[in-house]
Amino acid sequence: MTFPLFDLSGHRALVTGSAQGIGFALAQGLAEHGASVVLNGRDGAKLEAAADRLRLAGHEVAVSDFDVTDANAVKSGVDTIEQTVGPIDILINNAGMQFRTPLEDFPIDRWERC
C-alpha cells in the first residue's frame, strides 16, 4: 500500500526509545512510508533485534545506543549518527519513563530526570 501524501523517501528519522513498543511501531510506520530510520535506546542487543525485524521487511535501518537522559551522550550520539549515517531530518522523542506519584509529592530530581 502506498501513501503519496505521506511519502518520506529520502528522509532520515531518529526515533528514541524504539527497541520495542510504541517507539518501534513509530519507527516501523516511518520506514513503511519510505524513511530511513535510526533506532535509539540504551540496550544495544534489543536495538539490533528490532533493526533486524525492520531490515527483513526491506527497510533501511541503523542503530545508535545512547541514554537520552545524559546530555553529553545525546550530543555524542547525534554527532556520530550525522557523521556515519547522515543528517537527521525527523526526530521522534518517544523515550520516556514514569514515576507514579501524586503531582504535589513529585520529587524535583525525578521531575528533572523525566
User: What structural domains does the chain harbor?
Assistant: 4-113 (3.40.50.720)
pLDDT tens per residue, range 58-91: 999 999 999 998 999 999 999 999 999 999 999 9
**Single pTM value for the model:** 0.85
Q: Which of 91, 103, 111 is nearest to 23 (CA)?
A: 91
**Alpha carbon distance 7, 31 (integer Å):** 10
To the nearest 10°, report the CA torsion of 54, 57, 58, 60. -10
pLDDT band at 29 (very low <50, low <70, confident <90, very high): very high
Give every CB contact of residue 77 below 8 A, 6+ residues apart in sequence: 40, 64, 66
Instruction: Check residue 107 and give its pLDDT.
Output: 85
Instruction: Check residue 95 and give its pLDDT.
Output: 87
25, amino acid identity: A
Joined grid coordinates for residue 3:
501513501
